[in-house]
Amino acid sequence: MCKKESPVDRKIERYKDRKIDSEVFHLVERRKPIAVSEAVTRVMKYIKEGRVEMVSIDECDGYYLAEEIKADHDVPPFDKSPYDGFAIRAEDTVSATREHPVTLEVIEEIGAGSVAFKSLKEGEAIRIMTGAQIPATADAVVQFELTREFKEAERDFIEIKRSFLAGDNVSKQGEDTTKGSKLVSKGAKITPGVKALLATFGYVKVPVFQKPKVGIFATGTELLDVGDELVPGKIRNSNAYMTAGQLKKAGAEPVYFGKLVDDFDQCYEAISNAIDQVDFLITTGGVSVGDYDYLPAIYEKLGAEVLFNKVGMRPGSVTTVAALGDKLLFGLSGNPSACYVGFELFVRPILLSSFSYDKPHLQKEKAVLDADFPKPNPFTRFVRSRVSIKEGRLHVIPTGLDKSGSVTSLSDANALILLPGGTRGFTTGMDVEVLLLDGEGSKWPWE
Ligand SMILES: Nc1nc2c(c(=O)[nH]1)N[C@H]1C(S)=C(S)[C@@H](COP(=O)(O)OP(=O)(O)OC[C@H]3O[C@@H](n4cnc5c(N)ncnc54)[C@H](O)[C@@H]3O)O[C@H]1N2
Ligand code: MOO
Ligand SMILES: [Mg+2]
């Protein structure tokens, strides 16, 4: 029976070329950190426009438009009444005053959705409701409140005590938009307001970018399922659920493949089988330099090109991205805060770019720091934080323990304070940069 390779044997084999003399192996791989902006740039070289599909208007919320929306007719499509009242000929009211009102005979009544049969002659009015098409021969509308109605010999009349001009109280055809106008760009997120336009212009089916399928594996022998009881040495897998939530929020479809124990062969097998089933693959954990951190060796065996494996940032310095052909494999850190930040900085922008969304990166703003942050920042630091508006200014405060292993600082965070590498000693009241987790995004927030 052949002996199973130990993690140390495996490292010796992997690093044998990095020998500095005949005796000494570097069992710890030395990684050279690159700047966050450079790392994001390397990922963004892999942008591919997403596939287009038609979805029912009932199901299109949260998708991104794959085509611009253009008005194919005027809105409103006809002159219409903005009030409940009477459609009149303005010229009939020229002499109307409080003392000498004019009297008009009401010859027909129309509600919204109906069109008048009769045409107005001098001295006549048509009772009209809000939204109804203005009769061809009318040119103004008088609200009920400005008239006095009366009956005489079984006929209906109104009295008007002031004059009106042609066009008064008429919502003109095309006043909202005219046929041919560009209204919403390709790549826009479908919001309730966009849906109103889709419905207005008859989109029973909406052309959208398909949600990319993004596979998730959580690696770690210590991981329990959510429903498992805690046992010594183990923790529940939170990253898979967090990442799935981030994917859904970014408009992608998470495909959770489950958790993997730290065993090279099992991880390699599962990962290589999953790649063809998804557009992107995320793994969490196992990317650092530990004995059971197998992702680097798995990328090597897959023949994937590692775009980077060390970024000058905290948390998430070990975030690794590899490309297998044109498919990206995101090796996010196992530490929950590092995993979260790695997703927001590297995964989210390429997903949004595949929808032609023009602000795929987190939105950068300035905020007033509401707490001291004395720690030094050897690397660019992303502090999980909460922004709020106080007296018209954006304020920010960290949401909890600032360690990459912290999970509790994430629940309340709606921003990341961005502290440049090489700085220290931020104090209450200072201006800092923040990246908004729920903002509309930015084209490029990096220097
Ligand atoms: N000698 C060194 N050690 C470490 C370095 C280093 O440069 N030299 N980097 C540290 C940094 S920075 C980070 S971040 C972590 C990254 O570790 P991995 O990405 O390899 O992740 P694991 O080792 O698998 O786990 C780390 C941590 O996260 C917990 N974890 C893992 N998966 C999950 C999950 N799905 N849900 C919740 N928590 C999870 C795991 O139990 C560990 O506590 O490495 C440092 N070490
Ligand atoms: O990758 Mo680690 O998160 O920098 O702490
Ligand atoms: Mg590790």
Domain residue ranges of the chain, discontinuous segments joined by +: 1-25, 31-50+211-354, 52-69+180-209, 85-160, 363-436
**β partners of residue 88:** 140
Q: Is 307 helix (H, G, I), strand (E, B) or coil?
A: strand
pLDDT at 23: 52
> Per-residue confidence at 398, pLDDT binned at 50, 70, 90?
very high
pLDDT at 1: 47
pLDDT at 345: 98
Q: Which two tokens stand for residue 386?
A: 């909460």
Which ligand is located closest to the Cα atom of residue 340? Answer: 2
Cα–Cα dist 333/404, whole Å: 9
Mean pLDDT on 369-396: 97
Name, in order, each residue with C-beta under 8 angstroms of 344's C-beta and a sequence gap of 6 or more: 246, 362, 416, 435, 437
pLDDT at 27: 62
Assess whether pLDDT exceeds 90 at residue 185: yes
Which ligand is located closest to the Cα atom of residue 335? Answer: 1
CATH architecture type of domain 363-436: Beta Barrel (2.40)
> Per-residue confidence at 207, pLDDT binned at 50, 70, 90?
very high
Assess whether pLDDT exceeds 80 at residue 204: yes
Residue ID of nearest Cα to ligand 1 atom 32? 334
* Separation of CA 333 and ligand 1 centre (Å): 6
pLDDT at 30: 83
* Separation of CA 274 and ligand 1 centre (Å): 23
Name, in order, each residue with C-beta under 8 angstroms of 8's C-beta and a sequence gap of 6 or more: 27, 291
**CA 254, 258, 260, 266 torsion-angle sign:** negative
Residue ID of nearest Cα to ligand 1 atom 31? 334
Q: For residue 47, with 0-12 CB atoms within 10 Å meaning exposed, 13-18 middle and 19 or more buried, which class applies?
A: middle
**Integer angstrom CA distances of residue 404 from 126, 347, 357, 400:** 72, 18, 30, 11
pLDDT at 190: 98
380 lines ligand 2 (CB under 6 A): no
Among residues of the chain, what percentage have pLDDT more than 90?
Answer: 93
Atom number in ligand 2 closest to CA 288: 1
Which ligand is located closest to the Cα atom of residue 312? Answer: 2
Question: What does pLDDT average to over the chain?
Answer: 95
At residue 434's C-alpha, the angle toward residues 333 and 411, to 5°, is 55
Indicate the residue type of 143: Q
CATH number for region 31-50+211-354 = 3.40.980.10
Atom number in ligand 2 closest to CA 319: 1
Assess whether pLDDT exceeds 70 at residue 2: no
Give the strand pairing for 52-56 and 205-209.
antiparallel
pLDDT at 105: 98
316 lines ligand 2 (CB under 6 A): yes
Mean pLDDT on 77-102: 98
Residue ID of nearest Cα to ligand 1 atom 39? 334
404 lines ligand 2 (CB under 6 A): yes
Mean pLDDT on 289-316: 97
Question: Above 0.95 for ipTM, yes or no?
Answer: yes
* Separation of CA 307 and ligand 2 centre (Å): 18
pLDDT at 18: 63
309 lines ligand 2 (CB under 6 A): no
Which ligand is located closest to the Cα atom of residue 221? Answer: 1
Closest CA to 239 of 253, 226, 252: 226
Cα–Cα dist 140/169, whole Å: 6
pLDDT in tens, 166-181: 999 999 999 999 999 9
Closest CA to 300 of 278, 267, 349, 276: 267
Residue ranges of E strands in 210-252: 213-219, 223-224, 235-236
Assess whether pLDDT exceeds 90 at residue 47: yes
76 lines ligand 2 (CB under 6 A): no
* Separation of CA 22 and ligand 2 centre (Å): 33
Which ligand is located closest to the Cα atom of residue 318? Answer: 2
Cα–Cα dist 200/205, whole Å: 13
Q: Which two tokens stand for residue 158?
A: 């109104």
Which ligand is located closest to the Cα atom of residue 218? Answer: 1
pLDDT in tens, 101-125: 999 999 999 999 999 999 999 999 9
Q: Which two tokens stand for residue 71?
A: 């008005």
Cα–Cα dist 400/119, whole Å: 72
Exposure b/e, 372-399, CB count within 10 A at least 16 = b = ebeeebebbbbbbbbbeeeeeebbbbbb
> Per-residue confidence at 275, pLDDT binned at 50, 70, 90?
very high
* Separation of CA 335 and ligand 1 centre (Å): 5
314 lines ligand 2 (CB under 6 A): yes
* Separation of CA 333 and ligand 2 centre (Å): 7
CATH number, domain 85-160, options 3.50.50.60, 2.170.190.11, 3.90.550.10, 3.20.20.70: 2.170.190.11
Residue ID of nearest Cα to ligand 1 atom 24? 285
* Separation of CA 318 and ligand 1 centre (Å): 9
* Separation of CA 244 and ligand 3 centre (Å): 21
Q: Which two tokens stand for residue 282?
A: 């995320």
Cα–Cα dist 75/77, whole Å: 5
Mean pLDDT on 120-140: 97
Atom number in ligand 1 closest to CA 310: 7
Cα–Cα dist 396/417, whole Å: 8
Assess whether pLDDT exceeds 70 at residue 12: yes
- Provide residues with CB under 6 Å of ligand 1: 218, 220, 222-223, 235, 237-240, 284-290, 293, 315, 317-318, 333-336, 338, 404-405
Mean pLDDT on 298-311: 98
Q: Give residue for tokens 């997703």.
A: 343
Helices H / strands E in the chain, number of each: 8, 24
CB distance 4 to 282 below 8 Å: no
333 lines ligand 2 (CB under 6 A): yes
Q: 31-50+211-354 with 85-160: one CATH topology?
A: no
Assess whether pLDDT exceeds 90 at residue 401: yes
Cα–Cα dist 258/266, whole Å: 12
> Per-residue confidence at 29, pLDDT binned at 50, 70, 90?
confident
Mean pLDDT on 45-60: 98
For domain 52-69+180-209, say whether CATH 3.40.640.10 is its number: no
pLDDT in tens, 209-245: 999 999 999 999 999 999 999 999 999 999 999 999 9
Assess whether pLDDT exceeds 90 at residue 293: yes
Long-range contacts for 105-111 (Cβ within 8 Å, ≥24 apart)?
105/155, 105/156, 105/157, 106/149, 106/156, 106/157, 106/158, 110/135
Q: Give residue for tokens 């052309």.
A: 207
Q: In this structure, how many other beta carbons lie within 10 angstroms of the beta carbon of residue 362? A: 23
Name, in order, each residue with C-beta under 8 angstroms of 4's C-beta and a sequence gap of 6 or more: none
Cα–Cα dist 352/49, whole Å: 10
318 lines ligand 2 (CB under 6 A): yes
Assess whether pLDDT exceeds 90 at residue 6: no
